[in-house]
Structure 1
C-alpha cells in the first residue's frame, strides 16, 4: 500500500484548482458572449440597454462563480493543513490528530478484499481493518 504524503495531496489540490480556474474562465467567457448575443433584437439590431443589463448579470454570475471556486480552494487547502499528518517528529507530551491517506492496492476488481493495517505505537499495537471492493 502506498502512503500519500502531505506534499502530494497539496500538489493534487493545487492542480485541481488550476484546472478548475481554466474551466471557470471558459465558462465566464461563454457567459459574457451569451450575454452580448442575447442583447440583439429579433430584427438583428444591437440594444445597448439590453447589452448593459445582460452584461451586468453575466458579470455578477461570473464574479460569484469565481469567488466560490477561490473560497472552496482555500477551504480545501486549510483542511489539508489542519487534518493531514505531515512528515515531522512528535516530541514527548505532544500528540497529532488528523487523517492518514492510504492508497488502496490496485487490482481488487469486483471482489471484496480485507486488509489489516498494524500500527505499533510504543508498547501499543493498533490494528485497522479495511475492506476494499464494490458495494462495501
Structure 2
C-alpha cells in the first residue's frame, strides 16, 4: 500500500497527488470518533438521569421516592442500552476496517488480495466529473486504473 499512488487529472494532465489513507490512520480516526461518541453518550446519559429525577416531583413540588425509584430505574436501563449500542457500533466499525481495508501485504505466487482502498477526495468545483489515476505496483508489474467520478446523466 505504501507504493500505491493516486493522481488527479485535469485536462488530461496530472494536476495534484491524492493521498492514500493508510489502515492505521483509519483506525486512529475511528478510535477518535469512539472517544467523542463516548463523551456525547455520557452527556446524554447524565441528561437522561437528571430528567428522570426531575420527573419524580409531584405537581405540588414534593419529591416522590417511589416515582424517583421508577424513573431512575427506567433511566438506568435506557442509559445502559445507549452505552451498549455505542460500544457495539464502535467494535463493528473497527472489525469492518480490519476485514475490508487493504493493508500492506506480501503476496506469494498465485495469491491475491482484495478490499477497500481509501483516498482523499478529488478537489475542484461541481462542474463535470473528477478524473484520477490509481497506480498499483505488484512485483515488477504496474497496474493503472483510471476513474472518472461524477453525476450520472
Q: Same fold (TM over 0.5)?
A: yes
User: Counterpart in 2 of 1:32?
Assistant: 49
* Structure 1 unpaired stretches of 5+: none
Q: Return closer, same or farther for 1:87/1:78 CA change in 2, 3 Å cut-off.
A: same
For 1:119 and 1:71, the matched residues in 2 are separated by 35
Paired position in structure 2 for 1:93: 110
- Highest relative contact order (Cα 8 Å, sep 6+), 1 or 2? 2
Cα distance in structure 2, aligned partners of 1:5 and 1:124: 20
1:6 aligns to 2:26 (yes or no):
no
The answer on whether the counterparts of 2:135 and 2:142 sit within 8 Å (CA) in structure 1 is no
TM-fit CA distance, 1:88: 2.8
TM-score, normalising length: structure 1: 0.88
Deviations 1:29-72 (A, max 9, x none): 00000000000001010001100111111111111110000000
Structure 2 unaligned residues grouped into runs of 5+? 1-17
Higher alpha-carbon deviation: 4-13 or 84-93: 84-93
Alignment of 1:1-136 (within 5 A): 1-106=18-123, 108-112=124-128, 113-121=130-138, 123=141, 125-132=143-150, 135=151
Name the structure with the higher helix share.
Answer: 1
Post-superposition CA distance 1:2-21 (Å, at most 9, x none): 00000000000000000000
In 1, Cα distance between equivalents of 2:125 and 2:90: 32
Aligned-residue RMSD, C-alpha: 1.8
